[in-house]
Each structure stands twice: as structure tokens, then as C-alpha cells.
Chain A
């Protein structure tokens, strides 16, 4: 039964490089601890070759200007670990969360799906690279051998069954010890002159057991690649969240968009790896000096809702999408309309996973806007005319003449309509349409025998009322504070060269007259 291991060397550095890939060519050192007692926690290969060792102080490192120093970010490490789990789970449902930087996969039965084992190993490495992590991948017949090979050999390694001891023989003994802290057993091996796994595998079993006990025997079995154990599978939750802790607070939207772009690309890559899309994006910004902006969205469970330093925005999409560029543009437009109002210290971005949209438009269906483009267009239009001024209409179940509300525009999928369908009405008459004056125009009306006879409203609308029909009395909501009661008249007034028809309203509560609209 084959197993694979994905191992990310220098994991704390890689977690930071996911957000700053341009630093990959430089010597990066990760520091941990409170200033001024910061010490080196990890460094990449270039930093190590430059003389950096774990435990050195920041002062020692700063003597050399070639190193890029970054503070350790548990947030980014946890996001990188989640990405690693997504990478593994996109291939196999049985995975073991061995450590922060290593994941084990059961590859049994995957060859018919993904091809031979070397190809699966290469694909795993490529997928990890797409998620921003440069990982070693090893495939072997047991999990521990795969783990040792991934820790010891860079790149992709495939160990055929039965040749584990031979393949592992060149690895140093230190690869058996996960912790960076020197172990007494390792010191013992060094005293004995056991430098690599070949030497350890060649030691006599009984003598080794007498000196080092069962721990020694287990290490020797590991070195021979003969240990066998069952995988401990985990089922990671579908939480897609990325975060960046900023070295310096951001004050401009442009660099914020730059960082959001990276986060969105990582988020989309993770969702894509799990064959998912998203219909809801949540952006949480931790602000520097405590300005808080209200929003209707619910806060993340990971964050304290009473925290006054959190700025939250939620993008709800009508259809599941998976396009980082569209998400970025939507977030940019949203932030432009609702700026955070204070410098940003941390960025959290999470996506609610849903199944991707599976729809195919027909050849004979009427044209309709693409959902992705439409969403972007609506966001741009909202940026021009303001929120609540664009959308579709919903007429409310009320007798109040202006009983309607705006709602999000999400047209249903078109259905095929026959060219001469009975639904398409065509007649020789049209409905008399009313054009509403918003707000209604105040008017001074003269009554004669209880009917309006003269109106003065504006320069254009004034004079004798030629014909008047009405009144139509209506009232409602008298049980509420916003009750209304009105008389409606339809009137004809002589305009410059024609006769214009208007709706005249007498508000019975205030006693005022208004021109509500024009029949057109």
C-alpha cells in the first residue's frame, strides 16, 4: 500500500513567503520573541549558508545587511498549514496531519485516477507550489519511510517497495529526530560514529536494544524502512481563511489591493484544489487606532465581536464564483465606497465554500449577462449612483402608492420562449404610465364646488385645470406612526402647446396639496 508525504522545509519561512513571494530569492530570517530579545526561529537555505543559526540574536543578524528579517506569524503559519491540508486532500481522502510542516497521504487506489506513483508525486509537488509552498514529496510503501525520505531528499522521491533501506542509507541520522533540540540519543549515535542511516541499520539488534532500549530498536527499524503502522486519518474542516500581519500599518487603498490580490489568489487556489467556489467573501481588517465601522455582516467566530478595532465587509455574490480578479475588483469598489477610516494592521480574508455553478447556456436561449461580468458591472454602477439605487424591484403587499423596495438584481436563468408564444402580448393599446415626481411637488390649489379649478406649482405647471376627475380616497397604516390618508385627483392642465395630465394628491393629514406625477 503506497503512502506519500508532503514536507515543507523551513515552514515558518515558507508561510511568510506565501504572502511575499518576491523574497524567495533572498536570505530570509524569521525572528521570534519580544523586542529587544528577539532570536532567530528559522531561516531559509540562503540564510543558513550565510551563517545564520537558530537561536542567534537579532543584534547579531543585523550586523549583516544581506538578510531580510521578518517576525514569526502564527496566523500565516496556520493558513499555510490549512493550504497544505487542502493540497493533500485534493488527491486523497485519507490524510494524516503529521505535523505543521508535513502531511501523510494514503495513495491506495489512486493510480487508476491520477496515473503512476511518480506522476502523483510530481502533481502533488506542483499543487503545493500553486498554493505558494515549495515542498518535498516522497512516496514509499510505509508512512514513516515516506516521511524520512521527504525530510531528507529535496524535490520528488519515489522509493520502490523492498528498497527502502538502500534508498534511505545515505541520509544523516539527524533526520530521525523531528525536534531541532539536540536529543541524547543523537549525541550517543555521534559518539559511536554512527553518522548515517546505513550505519544505524547495520548495528546488531540485540546489542542496540541492550544499550538504547526499545527507542533504539524503533529508530533502527525506521532507518531500515521496515517499520509499519496504520495511518491516523483526519478530516479537516472546510475553513478557507487567509491572513497577513503587516510589519507597518497600511494607509492607502492601493497597497491594500496589492495584498488582497495575493490573499485572494491563495484563497482561490485552495478552493480550486478542493473543487469548490465561493458565494460569500468576508474581509476583516484590524485597525491600528481603534476606529470601528459598522456593517451588517456577522463577525468571524475567530474574532471577538466586541473588539472595536475590527472593520468588517462582506461580499455576497448571487452565484458561486472562483475568479480572484473579479473578487479583487469587487473588494476594491466596496472599499472605495466604504473606506476603513484608519491604518490597517492585520488583514483576514475568508471565503464561504459552496459547490461551483454547473450550468450551460443553450443555443436558443435569449441573451443574458454573464453573472461574473454582471456582478462587476453592478458593483461599478453602485459606486456611481450609490448603494440602494440599483437593483430590481419588488412590489410590496400594501395599498400605499409607493409600496415597493429595491432588492439585489439577480435575474433567473432564461428559459426558451417560442417566437410566437402566447405569453408575449402585443396589442394596439398601451398602459397609461405614470411618471413619479420624487419628491412630490408642492402645489397651491384653488377649489371650486369642492373640485380643483386652479393650480400653481411651478413656472411650467400653473393655470386653470381644464378637467379633473376624482377624488379617490385611500388611507392606511393608521395603526402605525406612519399612517397616511389621501385624496387623489387626475387633472388636465394646459401646457405651452399641449395638454398635460397630472396626478394631484391632497394629503388629508397635513392638508397640503402635491403633484405626485405626470401621466405619460
Chain B
């Protein structure tokens, strides 16, 4: 019987005898056969993530700029008031509902206008509208009623539910969690547009990471609208919007008596793509512009 020392020496001789010119490849192959490295994939062999399916925003200029909205990712648009955020949101919801998808809108400040949505051709029967903070006053009233019940029946205290006072942002985060876990939605939109900046920035980054993980590998588009970027690095697509002042300036110069149609129809919105993780190389800051029109202005 050969001693262990002789065996290891023989093994070394054997390995040295078969070293080819492509040494790195051979080493990789040999490492992969070792039990210690079983199940470990070399970084160079990791599969690249397949390109996500892109869906239309309903606005040609935005689609041309971003390539559409990626399914299974978080898309964020931001801008100040009157910068066209809600117009894009409604256009995206209209496009999704017309594709027969079920959509959900988490309306943090209860600012959604049903008539604007109807004018934008959103299929309202396929849109789930969650109005956060809308019923706080009513719940307080119910809580008062139940306290009366407790007075009537002192033993009933244990049957009372604990009503916690929860802010609209906290409600919105919990609701979004539930919607994403439920699955099956084509688009889940979170409208943080009128949320004070201080509160919007206070949303923990872990929440956005959780949403991103929940929506990953699903056909859901997670769409966030706000005044400032909140989701930070979790947003795969980040679009900045601003209204162009040219139109209003021109109006001021031309008309002494501004008409309604002239004021609101044809507002020019400029969008700038700040981040797009769809491509390997960093995306350039590109601008696109589109017009808005007022439904009652014709």
C-alpha cells in the first residue's frame, strides 16, 4: 500500500503533466470539480438578466425617450407642481387599462380627479383606487361610537379593535405591500405628488427595496410619482419633468384677454431621463417634450 505522501506527490505530478496553454480555463475547470466549490458559479459565468418587457406609457415622446415602462421594475417620475406628472400617470393608467390589465392607484393625498381620468380614457372599472387618509375623520367618529358602546357594556372592552392613528404615507406603504403581494396587477401606481418633501424623504429606503423585490419577476409595473426622487437607487427608470414656460410667455405677449383653451391647451412638458438601468452603459441625460390638451377646450 502506498503512503499518503506518495499519493499526493503522484497527484501533483499528474496535474502538472496536463497543464495546457490556457491555464486559467483549466484552473477554473479543476476548481469546479473540487467538492469545496460545488455549487459556486464563477462571476464570469453568471447569466445576464433578460431584458424586461416594456409597455407603453401612452405618450409617444416618453416612449421614445425611455423605451416604455419596464415590467417587474420600479419607475419613478418627479417634478414640481404643474409639471405634467399626473398627466403622464393618467396616460400610463389609460394605456394599461386599455390593454385589459387591472391597475391600482395608491393615492396618498386623495387628489385623484375621476373626471380627468375619464377624459384620459382610463377604464375606471379596471382601476382600483385606494384613498389613503380619506376616512380618518370618519374612523375617529366610529371610534367615538364604540367608546359609547363600551360604556354601555363594560365587559365588551376586549372585543374592541385597537384603532391606531396612522398617517397617509404609512397607510400607503402598507397598502402597496398588500397589493404587490396579492399579485396580478398590471400596474401599481403610488402618487406621492402632494406629500410634503420632509415626509416623502422620510420613507425608509428598505421599503423601496422591499417593493422592488416584491415586483421583481412579475408582470407588474411599479410606478411612483413625486415631487422629488424618493426611491433613490431602487428606481430602475428615473424621469424628471418640468413645464416649459415658453407657451405662457407667448400667451402673455399675444393676448390681453387669455382664453381658457389658450391657457391650458398645448402646455409643453419637458422630460429628462436621469437614470435607466435597462442598458449596460450609463444612460445619457436626454430631453423629450410633449404637449397636453384640455378636454373641455376641444
Q: Which A residues form the contact surface with B (CB < 8 A)?
A: 251-253, 289, 291, 293, 336-337, 339-343, 365-370, 373-374, 376-378, 380-381, 384-395, 401, 404, 406, 409, 411-412, 414-417, 421, 423-438, 466-470, 472, 490, 492, 495-501, 517-520
Contacts and interface: CB of A to CB of B under 8 A. Distances in A.
Interface in B148-165: 149-150, 152-153, 155-156, 158-161
Contact of A395 (B118, B178, B220, B294): B118
B129 A406 contact: yes
30 contacts: A251-B159, A253-B159, A341-B152, A342-B152, A342-B153, A378-B128, A381-B175, A385-B131, A386-B138, A388-B135, A389-B135, A392-B126, A393-B127, A414-B100, A423-B98, A424-B56, A424-B95, A426-B56, A430-B88, A432-B265, A432-B295, A433-B116, A433-B120, A436-B113, A468-B258, A472-B260, A490-B260, A490-B263, A520-B85, A520-B87
A426 B57 CA distance: 8
A425 B149 contact: no
Given A384-B174, A393-B114, 9 more contacts: A373-B184, A376-B182, A381-B130, A435-B112, A467-B251, A490-B264, A498-B80, A498-B243, A520-B82
A429 B267 CA distance: 9
Interface of B: 56, 58-61, 63, 80-91, 94-95, 98-102, 110-121, 124-136, 138-139, 146, 149-150, 152-153, 155-156, 158-161, 166, 171, 174-175, 178-179, 181-186, 193-194, 219-220, 242-243, 245, 248, 251-252, 258-260, 262-265, 267, 269, 290-295
A409 to B, nearest CB: 5
A430 B292 CA distance: 5
Contacts of B181: 377
A466 B98 contact: no
A430 B90 contact: yes
Interface centre among A391, A472, A499 (most CB of B within 10 A): A499
B70 to A, nearest CB: 15
Contacts of A370: 183-184
Contact of B185 (A367, A386, A412, A426): A367
Contact of A469 (B112, B252, B258): B258
Nearest to B245: A499
A339 B135 contact: no
Contacts of B262: 469
A339 B128 contact: no
Given A336-B161, A430-B58, A385 B134 contact: yes
Contacts of B130: 381, 385, 389-390
A470 B160 CA distance: 52
A456 to B, nearest CB: 17
Contacts of B138: 386, 388
B101 A414 contact: yes
Contact of B156 (A343, A467, A519): A343
B184 A385 contact: no
B230 to A, nearest CB: 17
A386 B138 CA distance: 8
A498 B291 contact: no
A391 B183 CA distance: 17
A293 B181 CA distance: 34
A518 B86 CA distance: 10
A500 B84 CA distance: 11
A503 B11 CA distance: 85
6 A-B pairs with the lowest CB-CB distances in the bound complex, closest first: A386-B135, A369-B184, A433-B86, A520-B86, A377-B182, A430-B87
A148 B183 CA distance: 56
A373 B183 contact: yes
A319 to B, nearest CB: 14
Contacts of A435: 86, 111-113, 193-194
Contact of A368 (B87, B101, B135): B101
Nearest to A254: B158
Nearest to B252: A467
Contacts of A376: 182
Given A374-B182, A384-B175, A395 B115 contact: yes
B112 to A, nearest CB: 7
B158 to A, nearest CB: 5
Contacts of B101: 366-368, 414
A520 B84 contact: yes
Contact of A386 (B134, B152, B155, B267): B134
B135 A426 contact: no
A340 B59 contact: no
A390 B128 contact: yes
B156 A373 contact: no
Contacts of A429: 59, 290-293
Nearest to A391: B129
Contacts of B116: 431-434
Given A393-B127, A469-B260, A252 B158 contact: yes
Contacts of A427: 58-60
A433 B153 contact: no
Given A384-B174, A431-B293, A499-B82, A395 B59 contact: no
A160 B36 CA distance: 69
Contacts of A434: 86, 113, 115-116
A362 B283 CA distance: 38
Contacts of A495: 80-82
Nearest to B58: A426
Given A339-B161, A430-B91, A386 B136 contact: yes
Contacts of B258: 467-469
A131 to B, nearest CB: 31
Nearest to B184: A369
Contacts of A369: 102, 182-185
A469 B87 CA distance: 20
Nearest to B59: A430
Interface centre among A389, A404, A518 (most CB of B within 10 A): A389
A429 B294 CA distance: 10
